[in-house]
Amino acid sequence: MSFTGEVKLEITNLETIETEKISELSAIIHNSDITLTSIKISSENNNIIRHIYSLIKELYGITPKVVVRRGYNYSKKYIYFLEINYKVFDILNDLGILNNNQILTIPKDFIYDDDSLTRAYIKGIFLLVGSINDPKKSRYHLEMLVNTEEYAYFIRDLLNKYDLNSKILKRDSKFMIYMKEAEKIGDFLRLINAFNSLLYYEDIRIYRDHKNMTNRLNNCEQANIDKIIATANNQVNDIELIMSIGGLDLLDEKEQVVANYRMKYKDASLLELSEIISLETGNKITKSGVNHRMKKITDLASRIRNKENNKK
């Protein structure tokens, strides 16, 4: 089962009170195929259809018709259809979807007018039209796909009351409300009380974040090592050039000491070189002091190269 399926299975098994069930069912039916005489709900997830079937039977005492068909897509998954052809007007009115025989784009306020009802409504939307990537995959992504722009902005605003930073993107003829921030997706799972899924999600997220940080540190450390080696090689080349035309006598005494130790410890960093010189000579020198003398050596080597180039 996919991670989306695991989340949906978990939240269909939650205990809720009647008012929350009404809000949840309102969201589900609002995102279905509805007219004043029929309600048709479809899903590839049989757990969701069973859950909706139970909600309708418990709240309205009717037995919806269930039809199973094989899908037309390449996966050929089964699609489950739930149909209601009576008491439709009463159901739509009770769920805040109807007003003066008109199907509303936005449900009536009583469906989502407190925190628990808002959470239930969001849960219902996610059950029918939501999906979430497994955190083991390369990117974090949660989305819910709805039919109208006005309704999409309504859902976005509901989510963002909880600081989820959800956004809207038009996809073909529909509108996608989505989140890509890992922490916000975790907050969404907490919002709909999918706590087992949240624990799994956070474990994977923390592991991935730790792994990414370790990789970045390793890359940074390797880059520093490469830089140290490149600098040391350049310094060795400069010293060899000076030695080739007259030896280290061209340098003053302090620079000669640093040059000799560089040739002796060709791969050492400036800090390591300062510590070695201080220990072996008894004369303390800092990394900055070694660097200052190396710059003088480099300057001399540069002048020698320029002079040789001018002769050519």
pLDDT in tens, 159-218: 999 999 999 999 889 999 999 998 999 999 999 999 999 999 888 888 777 667 777 777
Are residues 163 and 263 both part of a single domain?
no
Q: CATH number for the domain including 104?
A: 3.10.28.10
* One domain for residues 22 and 171: yes
Q: Is 211 contained in some domain?
A: no
Residues 104 and 170 in one domain: yes
On the 0-12 / 13-18 / 19+ scale of CB atoms within 10 A, 92 is buried
Instruction: List C-alpha distances in Å: 129 to 45, 91, 121, 214, 301.
Output: 11, 21, 12, 37, 70
Position 159 in a domain: yes
pLDDT tens sequence across 247-286: 777 788 888 888 888 888 888 888 888 888 888 888 898 9
Domain assignment present for 199: no
**CA 26/CA 196 separation, integer angstroms:** 25
The CA angle 194-34-169, to the nearest 5 degrees, is: 55
Is 157 within the bounds of a domain? yes
Inside any domain, residue 123: yes
For residue 155, tell me if it sits in a domain.
Answer: yes
**pLDDT at position 170:** 92
Same domain, 294 and 183: no
pLDDT tens string 115-160: 999 999 999 999 999 999 988 876 889 999 999 999 999 999 999 9
Q: How far is CA 129 from the centre of its chain?
A: 20
Note whether 243 and 307 are same-domain residues. Answer: yes
Q: How many domains does the chain have?
A: 2
Clarify whether residues 240 and 152 are in a common domain: no
pLDDT in tens, 52-66: 999 999 999 999 898
DSSP SS3 for 24: helix
AA identity, residue 205: R
In terms of pLDDT, which residue wins out, 241 or 222? 241
Report the Cα 165 to chain-centroid distance in Å. 13
Do 162 and 257 lie in a common domain?
Answer: no
CA distances 60 to 23, 64, 102, Å, are: 14, 10, 21
Whether residues 117 and 266 fall in one domain: no
In this structure, is residue 209 part of a structural domain? no
* CB atoms near residue 210 (< 10 Å): 10
Which domain does 233 fall in, by range? 224-311
Res 231: pLDDT: 84
CA atoms of 69 and 67, how far apart (whole Å): 7
Residue 15 and residue 61 in one domain: yes
**What is the strand order of the sheet 130-132 is part of?**
130-132, 142-146, 174-179, 167-171
Tell whether 54 and 181 lie within a shared domain: yes
Structure token digits, residue 180: 């890509």
Q: Is residue 300 part of a domain?
A: yes
Give, in order, the Cα–Cα distances in Å from 44 to each of 9, 27, 69, 127: 13, 18, 10, 11
On whether both 184 and 97 belong to a single domain, the answer is: yes
What are residue 41's DSSP bridge partners? 82
13 and 59 housed in the same domain: yes
Residue 168 Cα distances to 103, 127, 151, angstroms: 23, 19, 11
